[in-house]
Structure 1
Amino acid sequence: PGWGSYDCYQNLSELSVFLPACLSACLPTYLHVCLPPCLSVYSPVINLSTCLSICNGPCMQQCSEVGGHARCSCFPGFFLKADGHSCEDENECVTNSHICQNSERCVNTLGSFVCERKSPCPVGYQLRNEVCEDIDECVVRSHNCDRGFECQNTEGSFLCKPKQTCLTGFTQDSHGNCIDVNECSTLLEPCSAGFNCINNVGSYTCQRKAIMCSQGYHSSPDGTHCIDLDECLTGVHGCDEGQVCYNLPGSFRCDCQTGYQYDATRQRCSDVNECWLYPGRLCAQKCENTPGSYQCSCTAGFSLAFDGKNCEDMNECDSSPCDQECANIYGSYQCYCRQGFYLKEDGHSCGDIDECSQSIGNLCAFKCVNVPGSYQCACPPKGFTMSTNGRTCRDIDECATGGHNCSSSQSCYNVQGSYKCLSFSCPLNYRKVSDMRCERSSCPAHSLDCQSTPLRITYHQLSFQTNIIIPAQIFRIGPSPAHSGDNIAISIIRGNEENYFSTRKLNSFMGAVYLQRQVREPRDFLIDVEMKLLRQGALTSFLARIYVFITANML
């Protein structure tokens, strides 16, 4: 093994000229045992650095000459070992170079592999007639015994027994090859004091001692003592990419760099995907894995904050994306057109409107009256007055001018073309802390009903026209200030029986109320929006009571 069998020696008489001592004591049947050490002893006579016609030169399987020197290679299913001439079976089942299906399991064989159907039987058994029977790996050739071993079947497994024994000075490895024993390292005191042990093939010799350094050390410049060899500095370490070399006395250690972890299957350092390992904890929005680290990024409409993790709303209006008017909203923006223009389908450009001829009515705020060669504008009889430009109608703020009939206990709220008289009072167990805010008084001990009521009730008034673009975000709600780890849930608990409104959670600390259905006629709504805040394991609720006034389109 490692040299071939005696069949490869083509001219024994020619060999006997060079190897009389060996061949005279060796029968042809055992040439594969005794010839390798003989070839090593007589290597000055027979050049083993080239591919001889006998035994592939120094190679175990295949030999080719390159530049007058032997280059060894292995058969398919084997790989070349570190000694440069021995071949070892490649376990395709471990390296995942097999082609077995998911319904099959891979079984390594010498130089190849076989695919077996998975069965409910233990390893080493197969299902036959509903009974698990032992698999004779030696017959089906699913064992992994090397050529120097014989396969012997056992119950549920097999054994690999050596075919041959080795001469004195040799030992048998796991592949059945006879390899030289290093007596200098295995014997307690192979040589007398003052002598160094030198290992030979099959034996050893003792030579008067000169300074000999152990592996990992080298002789000092003056040759009097051994000093440590820094493998990391000299680059003779075997650390892979992604590893850091640390020098040790007489050795070295390879550790994975930060952001890498050791993969025992592939025997190398693999990158740690921090984004999968800590989902949602490293970045506020998007996390992208990088070699040895990670990088945070934000979705459209947001920019990365200075800390490199959180995202801040980006004011897109600063870059003038709109043809005329731009309004920044959380995470996006909205383009608007000035009076006399309409927003095109691209959402950015504005087109001119032929008001009277197209009957759109935007030429005049309320009514366009055609006259020969021009037009005249008129306003509604109540709630508006004509602007100085003669085209638009200006809303009369009855609350500011005093033209309302609200009582002293009511608040006047101006809407387009009219006004509303609103009354704000706090429910039982609440105290009024401002004109628009009520806070819950302290709850009696063990009163779960009281503790489940909102901590704060705030009143808000919103006014829109019937031509508002649907869906429209009309209100945002969230804790102020927000804390890391906050999580909210919002819902409309009253006033949305006809499903004109909806809520949406924008992120963990911000929610919004949308007008999702077109309101064709002027109409008033009072909706209660509840926000539940989960902060540090405590759940608190807040109530926003919102008056929504939809007025007629006068522009």
Structure 2
Amino acid sequence: MPAPTCRIIACYLFLASVMHFQRCASMQATCDTKLSDLKHSITKVICPGGCWMQHSDLCGTDDYASGPLCLAAMHAGLMDGEGGYFEVFKSDPLPMYEGTTRFGVISRSCDSASNTYSFQMKCSTKGNSEFSITHVVCPSGCRSNYVCGTNPYNSDSSVCAAAINAGVLTDSGGAVTFYLRESKGTHLKCGISRSSFNFVDENTCLRSCQNEGQCLSGINAEFCSCLPGTKGEDCEIDIDECTTRSHNCHQHATCINTVGSFQCSCNANYTGDGQECTPNFCASNPGLCQNSGTCADTSTGYRCSCTVWYTGNNCETVSQDHILTTTAMTWSDSRSYCQSIGGDLATWGMRDAFTRNSILETLVRPAWYRFIRRRAGRKDMKSKQRNDFFEMKPVSPLMMKFGNATISKRLFIGITSVLFMFIFSGCVGVIFLVSKLPTHSRVVRQFTERQEIQNGTCVHGEMVTTESLHYKCLCDSGFSGILCAQDFDECNFGTHNCHPHATCFNTVGSFGCFCNANYKGDGWQCYLDACTSGTHNCHQHATCIDKVGSFQCSCNANYVGNGIECEANFCSSNNDLCKNNGTCLNTTTGYNCSCEMFYQGEHCEQEINHVLMATARNWTDARKYCQSLGGDLATWGMRNVTVRNWIIEHLLHPGPDVDYWVGLSDIEQEGVWKYTDGVAMTTDNTDFANGQPDNEGSDQDCARLRLAANYQMDDQRCGDNFFALCERTLT
């Protein structure tokens, strides 16, 4: 097979495994490849990964005299340990090369060299490029460099100086394209040149390249050099960086595809350029933290720092009525401190026995404080009596409960760093020069002198006469053999251009391709069906939709988001999901209904008649509280024996061991007991304990359900504080 055809096939095979590369580099370097191994003045090189540990005598910085090629590229910052693709420019030697340490690579200083090797075009770089078409960017000040010829120029000429001479570049530098021509024996004014170059393309490129792609002439073919963000034979395909997730938008930004590129826009409550987005919840939502809470943006959203009396994501909920100080202070300083945090020293909580006991049980004793009697050690000068006083001291250091762990003073949080390893398929960033396989390429087979061929005996080809008057068959594409009668198996010889994830099948004179399992396409182009193979990253509540070369995620019904992240949206998607004025709240797994006081059930669809008030109040305030919920203190439930017994068994006994106010009193007239709904008390509609009501102290005018009497009724002073039994008002 002729050399050009082999080179074309090699390009196609490499292209099949690395689809976004568009040029075949002529040099595949190894970690041991030296700079001196470069034969051309301009060379495109692919370096492998794993060259970090190569010890060498690399000499120079940016301009290098000698040493390993790939290590020089790492020292210059053009690639990392994963390998890379770049251009190397050979130019005239320098008097001195300085060594440095950069990117973990050490280079030495030296003062002698045959050539200078750089990764940027130099004024003295000659025109013997490895490619027939070469694009370079010349520096300024190259006019005085060596030039031989006038369009064409001797390949030993400086490209940049020749471009100035040809009028396609000024002395200030810039981009130029030159065309190399093999011209063995060409006579120029300055001598014979084996090759030359000029700045006029002698072959007109007829391919129509789209999206500003550039048409270039390669070896036996034309091709389009596409701009970043486009691909295809004619650069007709816009690469959707958003769909393929090849963009660099922030996780809290939206990617917007554009022709040949993309844009990033930060989402609501975030600010930035789209590639970097920082939370901006606090400034975007004044009053986000309620009740004097302080709003602070975090890496994932925002956080409300609440005052000591409030809690909740937005400081919307009262958390506590009493707290303990942790520092001993005088009475005046203590009061000033309490007032500084929006409260005062305890007053009403000390006056109510139940609240006071609750404080002791829930705050003081759990904190392991006790009273210690201590004498002052001196007598009062007037009364001559010793003054005794008490102080609170901790029995042991104050401890905290965090989950199931007991923590003292300090809480150590372990943070595990997560290393993300990005695995790329192929050599990132390499551009190949692709030569398209001619439609009527032929394989030439030479006959021996004794082989006699008559006209028409070439089965799939054309008979031609050689210079020595021998005959040979010029076979059609897809056939081989002396008589071109043998089908050429492209699959077996590896000369097909099926995709790496496709299977090649041979046909007479040709071949075909079909994509493998879990892949889709025409066989020449195959892409992974992420939905079927399960390699997508759609959310568990999203549906994966297959796309050509990619996939799309769409959140399911009652969920919203970009498909990769889906949040529950049941409440907005389903009006009146929670009945009877219930409040709908989305959760991570669905939704919850927060029901009004006298309703329950998944959708607040079930009515309930009695609820317990869990805060101790006097009888009048307790009744106002029940009325604020749309009910009143219990009346009709107390008159019905069956209902009353059910309340005692299912509400009061499972609840806290306390007494409860009910809607019965003789406030209007002493001794005349009536329910708050106007129904008079009788022996049949009440259940007073034995000897009750007794009006002990002559001011017991309100009824309660007394724990000590198994929740039979008892009269009590209306100003005392108890829990209450609230009842739904029947209509």
Return the TM-score normalized by structure 2.
0.22
| TM-score, structure 1 as length reference | 0.27
Give 1 or 2: higher strand fraction: 1
Greater RCO (CA < 8 Å, at least 6 residues apart) = 2
